[in-house]
Amino acid sequence: MNNPLNRRTLLRATGATALGAAAATALPPEVLATEPHAPPQGQQRDTAFRHGVASGDPLPDSVLLWTRISPTPEAVPGSGVGPDVEVRWEVATDASFRTVVASGVTRTGPGRDHTVKVDVTGLAPATSYSYRFLFEGQLSPAGTTKTAPATDAALSRLRLGVVSCSNWQAGHFAAYRYLAERGDLDAVVHLGDYIYEYAPGDFPLGWSVRPHDPPHETITLADYRRRHAQYKTDPDLQRLHATCPLIATWDDHEVSNDAWADGAQNHTPGTEGDYAARKLASHRAYFEWMPVRNAGDRIYRRLRFGRLAELSLLDLRSYRSQQTKPLNGDVDNPDRTITGREQMSWLLDGLLGTTAQWKLVGTSVMVSPVLVPPLPADLTGPLLELLGLPREGGAVLTDQWDGYAADRRRLLRALADNEVRDTVFLTGDIHSSWACDVPLDAGSYPLSRSVATELVCTSVTSDNIDDLLGVPPRTASIPLENGIRALNRHVRWVEYDSHGASVLEVTPGAVQMDWYYVADRTKRDSAVSCARSCRVRSGSQRIQRGWHPIT
């Protein structure tokens, strides 16, 4: 078995209605294992709606609404007990619910962990709504959501929050609080690692700001349900969910670290059972607890925002080949894939066929090459291939698209050959901030043209360089950042130390991302400030730095 150098090791070393089809899938008995437990510390006990409300995946005429009911004291998340109950939902055009435009009743029970997911249809495009749930005389908190504009609408602006990597143990969610307080977002895009699977204190430094529940690594369906439930008791995450719709995809920690189609770095079959059963359990819990649209186990999908933008969200874990070792020529093997063949065809069809101006692609791991060093493939590729080395240069982070170079070449070549403009990759995973041009050939850039750009949000809380090395921020990381940029000239900006959230504004003339950093991730009331703005002008395919924050 290969033992790839994963991104965390490198950082340490170098510094549909309720539930959907997946929720009804039969699971093996060992996956359904449960254990009695009390609600996590701080979880409310006096309301049926202690996990808040949420909305997601807005379409022009519909939006998903979500909540979780605690109908009896013993019906705690993951317990598998409690009665089947009916829950009423209401959608109104006003906060006082005087004008209810849609309502209904749905059933839930222990088979779906008492979660509720309703696809409300018949709504008006580009319209804000209030929503709430009612159960046995109790009202849920009221949430606000917004439908997408009509497919052919001329839109002057789209504003999205962009986040990833929110490890409960590593800190508080002040970044979520900041996005909720803005009050000007059309939606929030979460690019993966919404939850983490590790046991308390297990990752990465052996300590935590607040411990995980359950008090062990998540393996079974009950475990994943409890972990999702714990995250949804966070007041700032609840507030964000209640403020605007979420558009989310998963990365690896929703299952297990450095996952691929048939396994994960953080899964040991001998002691943790069958990986396929674990993956099925984690996906089922995800679809129960998240306001996302899914067709069976498929999560990759598109959402359109008028003629201005179309967002393609990828699943880069479920179909990928196992990661290879760093500096291994196997990254060029055309039989290896990060997307799977079906998803790649779907992605290319969308990028080449859309009538939207901006093609936004939500990818949980970096597309841009980060090579040591990048080499001109046309000149050195045949020799490197003969030596068994990567033809484009030294691929170290093989959990990213660098480890699946044939898929990346196919994608970028399609953009170049078909003259596709205004493609922007939105990325998470790497616990740092990046702004990159995406060149057709990194080794000869800037002579080789850029065919897209990539904007990478940092982690909400998950550890980065200074945390892993135990050094003050903006010390050890600065030489690393300078070295990365010197070797990879298409990397226009990188910052390895800070935590926070990003805000993306899309207009016909440009796409701009602002990076907002928290002063102290261990404090819930941490101050938040804008650190950097980068812009991509329409048609330019290149990053411009130094713009003022969006207001």
- Residue 346 domain flag: yes
Asked whether residue 207 carries a pLDDT value surpassing 90, the answer given is no
Give the pLDDT of residue 376: 73
Number of domains forming the structure of the chain = 1
Q: Are 247 and 190 in contact (CB under 8 A)?
A: yes
DSSP state of 469: H
Contact between residue 164 and residue 428 where contact means Cβ atoms under 8 Å apart: yes
Domain that holds residue 479: 7-545
H or E stretch at 284? helix 275-289
One-letter identity of residue 152: D
Share of the chain above pLDDT 70, in %: 89
Q: Is residue 352 part of a domain?
A: yes
Q: What is the average per-residue pLDDT within 196-201?
A: 94
- pTM for the model: 0.91
Residue 41, pLDDT > 80, answer no
Residue at 189 is within a domain: yes
What is d(CA 41, CA 20) in angstroms, rounded to the nearest whole number?
31
Q: Which of 531, 541, 544 minimizes the C-alpha distance to 503? A: 531
Higher pLDDT, 201 or 437: 437
For residue 354, pLDDT beyond 60: yes
| Cβ pair 197, 253 in contact under 8 A | yes
Mean pLDDT of 194-223: 91
Type of residue at 238? Q
Give the pair of three-digit tokens for residue 410. 């196919």
335-347, pLDDT tens digit by residue?
999 999 999 999 9
Sequence letter at residue 544 = Q
In a domain, 107, yes or no: yes
DSSP calls for 263-276: EETT--HHHH--HH
Q: How confident is the model at residue 155 (pLDDT cuts 50, 70, 90)?
A: very high
* 389 — pLDDT class (breaks 50, 70, 90): low
**To the nearest 5 percent, what fractions of the chain are helix, strand and coil?**
25, 25, 50
219 lies in a domain?
yes
Under 8 Å CB-to-CB from 243, ≥6 apart: which residues? 143, 144, 179, 180, 183, 185
| Distance in angstroms (rounded) separating the CA atoms of residues 66 and 294 | 14
- pLDDT tens per residue across span 456-498: 999 999 999 999 888 999 999 999 999 999 999 999 999 999 9
In this prediction, residues 378-384 reach a mean pLDDT of 54
Q: What is the mean pLDDT of the segment spanning 249-273? A: 97
Of residues 47 and 343, the one with the higher pLDDT is: 343
DSSP character at residue 170 = G
Q: How far apart are CA 487 and CA 489, in angstroms?
A: 6
Query: Could you tell me the CA-to-CA distances from 361 to 16, 71, 147, 165, 534 in Å, in that order?
Result: 23, 40, 20, 18, 17
Instruction: Provide the pLDDT for residue 46.
Output: 60
**Burial of 393: CB neighbours in 10 Å, binned 0-12, 13-18, 19+:** buried
176 in a structural domain: yes
| Residues 338, 320 contacting (CB under 8 angstroms) | yes
pLDDT at 382: 60
pLDDT bin (cut points 50, 70, 90) of residue 378 is low
By CB atoms closer than 10 A (0-12, 13-18, 19+), residue 342 is exposed
Whether pLDDT at 40 is above 50:
no
Q: How far apart are the first and last CA of the chain?
A: 50
For residue range 513-535, list pLDDT tens digits in order: 999 999 999 999 999 999 999 99
Residue position matching structure tokens 């300590």: 207
Look at phi and psi of residue 79 and say left if phi exceeds 0, alpha if psi is from -120 to 50, else beta: alpha
Is residue 550 one of the residues assigned to a domain?
Answer: no
Token pair of 528, please?
């938040």
Measured distance CA(262)–CA(130) in Å, rounded: 42
Instruction: Report the mean per-residue pLDDT for the chain.
Output: 90
What is the average per-residue pLDDT within 499-515? 98
Per-residue pLDDT at 204: 67
Residue 184 has pLDDT above 50, yes or no: yes
HSE (CB half, 13 Å, CA atoms) of 295?
4
CA dihedral 551, 59, 118, 75 (to 10 degrees): -40
Quick one: pLDDT at residue 47?
A: 87
CATH number for the domain that contains residue 167 = 3.60.21.70
What is the residue type of 144? T
In the structure encoding, which two tokens stand for residue 408, read together? 């990346």
The answer on pLDDT for 547 being more than 90 is no
CA atoms within 13 A on the CB side of 361: 31
* 276 phi/psi in degrees, rounded to 5: -60, -40
Residue holding tokens 């803005």? 182
Tell me how many degrees the CA angle 323-194-305 measures, rounded to the nearest 5: 100
Q: Residue 269's CB: how many other CB atoms inside 10 A?
A: 10
> What confidence score (pLDDT) does residue 374 get?
78
Per-residue pLDDT at 19: 30
The whole-number average pLDDT for the span 121-145 is 98
pLDDT of 30 higher than 50 = no
Q: Is 1 part of any domain?
A: no
Cis bond leading into 214, ω under 30°? yes
pLDDT value at 7 more than 60: no
29-38, 210-219, 294-303, 335-344: segment of lowest average pLDDT: 29-38
